[in-house]
Amino acid sequence: MTLVRPDAAPQQAPATTAPFPAGFLWGAATAAYQVEGAVTENGRTPSIWDTFSHSPGKVLGGDTGDVAADHFHRYRDDVALMKRLGLKAYRFSVSWSRVQPTGRGPAVERGLDFYRSLVDELLEAGITPVATLYHWDLPQELEDAGGWPERATAERFADYAAVMARALGDRVGMWTTLNEPWCSAFLGYGSGVHAPGRTEPVAALRAAHHLNLAHGRATEALRANLPAAAQLSVTLNLHQVRPLTGGEADADAARRIDAVGNRIFTGPMLRGAYPDDLLADTEHLLNWSELVHEGDLSAIARPLDVLGVNYYTPTIVSTPASGAGDTRNDGHGSSEHSPWPGSEHVAFHLAEGKPRTAMNWSVDPDGLYSLLMDVSREHPDLPLMVTENGAAFADDPDEEGRVHDPERIAYLHGHLAAVRRAVAEGADVRGYFLWSLLDNFEWGYGYSKRFGAVYVDYTTQRRTPKSSAHWYSEVIARHALPPEA
């Protein structure tokens, strides 16, 4: 990725009200463990997130996804709500252990039936289903066998991809292999703030390679079992990295985080090679020549139809002076262990003078514009899709039960203006998925953070569209941004 220096950061352009391109896809996204609930129904077995959330002290408040937003039982009502809001697409993920309880072998038809019914409901409502195969919920039995640090897990994932393609390929035309493999590898096996909660730098790097390999093997399996017109993608949470100052030390800090945060995936997936500087930064931890087998890189670099880009906030870094304080202000949770193997010394900073979300993330739409332009310049023939973008705020119903969230509207307006600006300047961005449709189980934060455009009362499971949902509905109907208030 191209690094953006502070003095070269673009200034926010006035929000344009010009229409988005014809065919631009408007959607919202969720993830299985965050919304489905029903964790023991129809043969589903525990995933690593079931185990992790039930482990004392791992999730704020002891929350679990046992019920979540109860989407498993309420999907028909949720699809009807999507239709009323005018959504054109719904990006959901499949619970691997609902389909293959052991992570291998024949599918459980009762598990597949839920996704068949969900997809049929979406199609009946005129909403395009976008299926993500993996959003962090590895079957626990596969973790017990070693998890993503083991090569066999990538092969099991390819088998699972083939199962899903055969089950839904006649009605789902857009597929994503992995969602944010950086989080799976480095938060799950590095810092331990995500499931399975391991804190092993070498295992995190091994997991990253096997997730890359899983993506490649799954892409091959999907191509073999889907109609030729199917569109395949992977979704990456690319870090929009900026050095804090123009000094050489901070530039090197940015290079390091770009390597282990971005190019560890874009290198093999899009260029067929791991970057030399990443290998050098981590050679004291890992013998890459033993990890990467012959044929792996060609298997990983399968052609894609679109690249999913998730963005929430920029990543500002420096090399701390001797005696500097906490280096872990990276927005990825609190841990004594770093998710940046080989670059544990790098310090992270919040953008000064910017509003903050409830996650304490800086609100900076320029970062999304820069990210889209950087990826577009480096891979001009690869269409892009913003597959997650949104913000958590302290949303509370008023006395009449309405939920007003002007901060979220401002966030979305700024970031959609950034997308529109990137499109106007030549970036081939094909769509935008708001994160998230519903308030849900927010991983290590439990139910304390609300990202949804729709408020969920977790006691009654009542859904209440927030002001931002109605605003987004207007954007979709106009196919353009309204004038900024």
Active site residues: 180, 388
Tell me whether strands 315-318 and 241-243 are parallel, antiparallel or unpaired.
parallel
What string of DSSP letters covers 419-468? HHHHHHTT--EEEEEEE-SB----GGGTTS----SEEE-TTT--EEE-HH
What string of DSSP letters covers 317-334? EE-PPTT---S--SSS--
Buried-exposed string 285-308: b where 16+ CB fall within 10 A, e elsewhere:
ebeeeebbeeebbebbbbebebbb
User: Residue 88, Cβ neighbours under 10 Å: how many?
Assistant: 17
Distance in angstroms (rounded) separating the CA atoms of residues 405 and 412: 11
Query: Among positive and negative, which fits the CA dihedral 124, 125, 126, 129?
Result: negative
Contact (CB, 8 A) for 314 and 330:
no
E-assigned strand segments in 9-163: 25-29, 89-93, 128-134
Q: Which residues sit opposite 404 in a β-bridge? A: none
Q: Which residues sit opposite 174 in a β-bridge? A: 130, 231
Planar angle of CA 107, 88, 442, nearest 5 degrees: 60
Q: DSSP alpha helices (H): ranges in 126-200?
A: 140-144, 151-168, 181-182
Q: Which residues sit opposite 139 in a β-bridge? A: 47
Half-sphere exposure of 128 (CA within 13 A, CB side): 16
E-assigned strand segments in 285-393: 306-310, 315-318, 347-349, 384-389
As a three-state string, the secondary structure of 213-255 is HHHHHHHHHHHHHCCCCCEEEEEECCCCEEECCCCHHHHHHHH
